[in-house]
């Protein structure tokens, strides 16, 4: 965080577990380092990259996402010394304070807004396809988020100049769905 800030670089946190609120000291440290080394924090955006899924409703999102997510996270856990992912662990990660950004478009928007307010992030990247999800489900998730992106941007921004703004020619979107 300090090195990136000292060099005036942006930062992206990959949240794959735990409570996002626990990362606030890291985003604060990055912004503090930017200022201390003479860089404008607005010129070096802070982002979060998180796993998640958008569906028409929370039950559908959970039902469709859990199987492939469980396989992927259990494999990752095996490599990193974590226990296998259980349904209970999954539900904890889906909770309002958890790291998974999953549910209906409005639920996903609320979680992104909470992360923006807690962590002060300028960007959010939603990694939809974790594991082996059917392509049709991934496309539908992208469609759900695309229909809601402008709403999410307006909802998250307390004023038009506040952090959800285009950067270097980007279109105004609070979410970009990473697939693959």
- pLDDT value at residue 165: 44
Where in the sequence is the domain holding 157, given as residue range(s)?
A: 49-178
- pLDDT value at residue 173: 37
Residues with Cβ within 8 Å of 74's Cβ and at least 6 positions away in sequence, in order, are: 84, 85
- pLDDT value at residue 136: 85
Residues with Cβ within 8 Å of 54's Cβ and at least 6 positions away in sequence, in order, are: 61, 102, 103, 104, 105, 108, 126, 128, 141, 144, 145, 148, 177
Question: DSSP 3-state assignment of 89?
Answer: helix
- pLDDT value at residue 9: 96
- pLDDT value at residue 160: 46
- pLDDT value at residue 158: 44
CATH number at residue 145: 3.20.20.30
Name the percent of the chain in helix, strand, coil, to the closest 5: 50, 15, 35
Q: Which two tokens stand for residue 115?
A: 């992360």
Residue 166 falls within a domain, yes or no? yes
Residue 158 falls within a domain, yes or no? yes
Residue 162 falls within a domain, yes or no? yes
Residue 1 falls within a domain, yes or no? no
Residue 76 falls within a domain, yes or no? yes
Per-residue pLDDT of the chain (180 residues; tens, 9 = 90+): 999 999 999 999 999 889 999 999 999 999 999 999 999 999 999 999 999 999 999 999 999 999 999 999 999 999 999 999 999 999 999 999 999 999 999 999 999 999 999 999 999 999 887 778 888 888 888 888 766 555 445 444 444 444 444 444 443 333 343 433
Residue 42 falls within a domain, yes or no? no
User: How far is 108 from 124, CA to CA, in rounded Å?
Assistant: 11
Residue 84 falls within a domain, yes or no? yes
Phi, psi (deg, nearest 5) at residue 58: -65, -40
Query: How would DSSP label each residue in 18-65?
Result: S-GGGGHHHHHHHHHHHHHTT--GGGS-EEEEEEEEE-SSHHHHHHHH
Residue 15 falls within a domain, yes or no? no
């Amino acid at each position: 965080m300090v090195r990136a800030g000292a060099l005036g670089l942006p930062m992206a946190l990959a949240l794959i577990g735990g409570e996002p609120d626990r990362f606030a000291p890291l985003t604060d440290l990055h912004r503090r380092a930017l200022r201390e080394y003479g860089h404008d924090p607005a010129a070096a955006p802070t982002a979060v990259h998180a796993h998640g899924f958008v569906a028409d409703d929370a039950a559908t999102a959970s039902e469709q996402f859990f199987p492939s997510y469980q396989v992927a996270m259990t494999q990752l856990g095996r490599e990193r010394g974590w226990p296998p992912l259980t349904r209970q662990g999954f539900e904890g990660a889906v909770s309002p304070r958890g790291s998974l950004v999953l549910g209906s478009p409005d639920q996903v928007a609320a979680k992104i807004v909470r992360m923006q307010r807690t962590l002060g992030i300028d960007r959010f990247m939603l990694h939809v396809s974790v594991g082996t999800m059917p392509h049709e489900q991934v496309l539908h998730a992208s469609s759900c988020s695309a229909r809601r992106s402008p709403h999410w941007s307006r909802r998250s921004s307390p004023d038009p100049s506040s952090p959800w703004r285009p950067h270097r020619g980007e279109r105004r979107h609070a979410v970009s769905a990473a697939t693959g």
